[in-house]
Amino acid sequence: MKDIYDEAMDTVAHKEPDTLSFTLYINDDESVFASFEVYKNSEGIIKNFQLSESRIGRVLAASDVIRCEIYGNASQELRELLSPYGTKFFNYNRGYNR
C-alpha cells in the first residue's frame, strides 16, 4: 500500500494543483491505512480520480475500503462519480479554520 501511495504523491505533486493536502496515516501494526485529502474544489477531486484510476483499482483489490466521505459542497458530477463506491457526502454548514 505504501508503494501505491508513493506513486500517488508524485502525481499529486506534479499534476494536481487543486490538491491542497494529501496525507497517509497508518496504525502501529500497519493493518489500517487512512488517507486524508483536501482539495480546492470538486474539480480537483475529479482530476485526482481520473489520474489515479489504475492505482484506485489496485487499492480496492488489496484492501477493504471502510468508508469514503466528502466534506464540502460537492458538484453533481462528483456525486455521480463517487456514489457507486458508497461515498457519503456532507455539505458545509458553518465553522472556521486557522
> What local confidence, expressed as pLDDT, does residue 54 receive?
83
Please give the CATH topology (third level) of the domain spanning 2-90: Alpha-Beta Plaits (3.30.70)
Q: What is the pTM of this model?
A: 0.84
> What local confidence, expressed as pLDDT, does residue 8 receive?
87
Least confident of 5-9, 12-16, 24-28: 5-9
> What local confidence, expressed as pLDDT, does residue 18 receive?
95
Residue 21 CB: number of other CB atoms within 10 A? Answer: 9
Domain ranges of the chain: 2-90
The answer to whether residues 36 and 21 touch, using CB atoms and an 8 Å cutoff, is yes
Q: What pLDDT, in 10s, does the model give residues 31-54?
A: 899 999 999 999 999 999 998 888
